[in-house]
Structure 1
Amino acid sequence: MSNCVSVVLGQYGWSVTYTTQSICTLKGSTVEMSCTYTYPSGTVTTTLWFLKKGNPVSLSGEPDYKGRVMYHRDKKNGHTLTITDLRESDSATYMFSFITDQTRWRYTGSPGVTLSVTDLQVKVTPTWWATSKTLTCSTTCTLTDHPTYIWYKNGQHLDESTSPQYKDPVSKNYDDTYSCAVKGHEDLHSPAVCFQGQSCNRVTYTKRRICVLKGSTVDISCTYVSYYSTTSSFWFRSDKSTPEDLTTDPGYAGRVEYPGTYRGPSSLRITDLREEDSAEYRFTFKTDNFEWGHSFPGTTLSVTGLQVKVTPAAEGQKTLTCITTCTLTDNPTYIWYKNGQRLDEPTSQQYSSNTLVVLGHSVDSYSCTVEHHEDLHSPAVCKYELNYYSN
Structure 2
Amino acid sequence: MGFNCGIISLIILLNIKGSLGESAKVFCSPQTICALRESEVDLECSYSNTIKPQQIFWFSSKLKAKWRNEEDPEDLALDSDYAGRVTYKTSSSSSITSTLTLRIRDLRERDSGEYQLMIITESGEKYSSSTAITLTVSDLQIKMISDTDRKWTLNCSTSCSLSSKPNYYYWYHNGQPSRPTNVDERTWSLYQTDTPGSYSCSAGWTPRIHSSSVCVSGENCWSVIYSERRVCVLEDSSVDFPCIYSYPSEQRVTESYWFYFQPGVNENDLSKEEQFAGRVEFLGDKERNCTLRIRNVTKRDSGEYLYRFLTHADRFSGTPGVILNVTDLQVKMSPSSPSEGQTVTLTCSSTCTLPNNPTYIWYKNGQPVTNKPTRYNKLYLESTSPEHVLQYSCALGDFPDEKSPEHITVLIITVGMVIFLAVILITGLVWRCWVIRRKRGAEREADVQTGTPVDDTYTALNPTSMSSDYDTLTQVRKVSSSGLYSSLNPATMSSDYETLTNATGRPKNRKP
Q: Quote the offset at 1:278 in angstroms.
A: 0.2
1:223 is matched by which residue type in structure 2? I
Partner of 1:137: 156
- Native 8 Å contact 1:312 1:319 kept in 2: no
Partner of 2:326: 303
Counterpart Cα distance in 1 of 2:164 and 2:129: 27
Q: Deviations over 1:25-56 (max 9, x none)?
A: 113433212143447x5646776767799999
1:73 aligns with 2:90: yes
Q: Quote the offset at 1:299 in angstroms.
A: 1.2
Partner of 2:135: 115
2:326 is matched by which residue type in structure 1? V
1:368 aligns with 2:402: no
The verdict on how the C-alpha distance between 1:271 and 1:358 changes in structure 2, with shifts beyond 3 A counting, is farther
The verdict on how the C-alpha distance between 1:52 and 1:253 changes in structure 2, with shifts beyond 3 A counting, is closer
Partner of 1:234: 257
Partner of 1:378: 404
Tell me the TM-score normalized by structure 2: 0.60
1:292 aligns with 2:336: no
Counterpart Cα distance in 2 of 1:19 and 1:302: 33
SS in structure 2 at match of 1:142: coil
SS in structure 1 at match of 2:374: coil
1:253 aligns with 2:277: yes
Q: Deviations over 1:202-238 (max 9, x none)?
A: 2111111111111111111211122232221111112
Counterpart Cα distance in 2 of 1:102 and 1:390: 23
Partner of 1:190: 211
Q: Which runs of 5+ in 2 are unaligned?
A: 1-20, 65-69, 412-474, 482-512
1:211 aligns with 2:237: no
Q: Quote the offset at 1:58 in angstroms.
A: 4.8
- Native 8 Å contact 1:154 1:293 kept in 2: no
Match of 1:152 among 159, 172, 191: 172
Partner of 1:3: none
Counterpart Cα distance in 1 of 2:73 and 2:239: 36
Counterpart Cα distance in 2 of 1:341 and 1:134: 64
- Native 8 Å contact 1:60 1:69 kept in 2: no
Counterpart Cα distance in 1 of 2:155 and 2:322: 25
Match of 1:23 among 28, 33, 46: 33
The verdict on how the C-alpha distance between 1:390 and 1:129 changes in structure 2, with shifts beyond 3 A counting, is farther
Q: Quote the offset at 1:306 in angstroms.
A: 2.0
1:237 is matched by which residue type in structure 2? Y
Match of 1:36 among 46, 50, 60: 46
SS in structure 2 at match of 1:243: coil
Task: Compare the two structures and name the one with the higher strand fraction.
Answer: 1
Counterpart Cα distance in 2 of 1:113 and 1:75: 20
Q: Report which stretch shifted further, 367-376 or 381-390.
A: 381-390
Counterpart Cα distance in 2 of 1:350 and 1:104: 26
For this pair of structures, how many residues does the alignment match? 372
1:271 aligns with 2:295: yes
1:221 aligns with 2:242: yes
- Native 8 Å contact 1:187 1:208 kept in 2: no
- Native 8 Å contact 2:80 2:377 kept in 1: no
Task: Compare the two structures and name the one with the higher helix fraction.
Answer: 2
SS in structure 2 at match of 1:266: coil
The verdict on how the C-alpha distance between 1:328 and 1:349 changes in structure 2, with shifts beyond 3 A counting, is farther
SS in structure 1 at match of 2:300: helix
The verdict on how the C-alpha distance between 1:17 and 1:374 changes in structure 2, with shifts beyond 3 A counting, is closer
1:261 is matched by which residue type in structure 2? D
Tell me the TM-score normalized by structure 1: 0.77
SS in structure 2 at match of 1:247: helix
Q: Quote the offset at 1:382 in angstroms.
A: 7.2
Counterpart Cα distance in 2 of 1:365 and 1:90: 34
Counterpart Cα distance in 1 of 2:222 and 2:281: 24
Match of 1:331 among 351, 354, 357: 357
2:300 is matched by which residue type in structure 1? E
1:124 aligns with 2:144: yes
- Native 8 Å contact 1:59 1:69 kept in 2: no
The verdict on how the C-alpha distance between 1:371 and 1:187 changes in structure 2, with shifts beyond 3 A counting, is farther
The verdict on how the C-alpha distance between 1:198 and 1:17 changes in structure 2, with shifts beyond 3 A counting, is farther
Larger radius of gyration: 2
The verdict on how the C-alpha distance between 1:253 and 1:203 changes in structure 2, with shifts beyond 3 A counting, is same
Counterpart Cα distance in 2 of 1:37 and 1:355: 30
2:141 is matched by which residue type in structure 1? Q
1:82 is matched by which residue type in structure 2? R
Q: Report which stretch shifted further, 193-202 or 63-72.
A: 63-72
Partner of 1:389: 479
- Native 8 Å contact 2:146 2:153 kept in 1: yes
The verdict on how the C-alpha distance between 1:30 and 1:58 changes in structure 2, with shifts beyond 3 A counting, is farther
1:126 is matched by which residue type in structure 2? S
Counterpart Cα distance in 2 of 1:47 and 1:59: 10
Match of 2:199 among 178, 192, 196: 178
The verdict on how the C-alpha distance between 1:179 and 1:45 changes in structure 2, with shifts beyond 3 A counting, is same
Q: Which runs of 5+ in 1 are unaligned?
A: 1-10
SS in structure 2 at match of 1:126: strand
Counterpart mapping for 1:338-357 below 5 A: 338-343=364-369, 350=374, 353-355=377-379, 357=381
- Native 8 Å contact 1:97 1:107 kept in 2: yes
Counterpart Cα distance in 2 of 1:339 and 1:99: 32
Q: Deviations over 1:296-349 (max 9, x none)?
A: 11211000122333444454986543332212222211223344444457xx86
The verdict on how the C-alpha distance between 1:293 and 1:319 changes in structure 2, with shifts beyond 3 A counting, is same
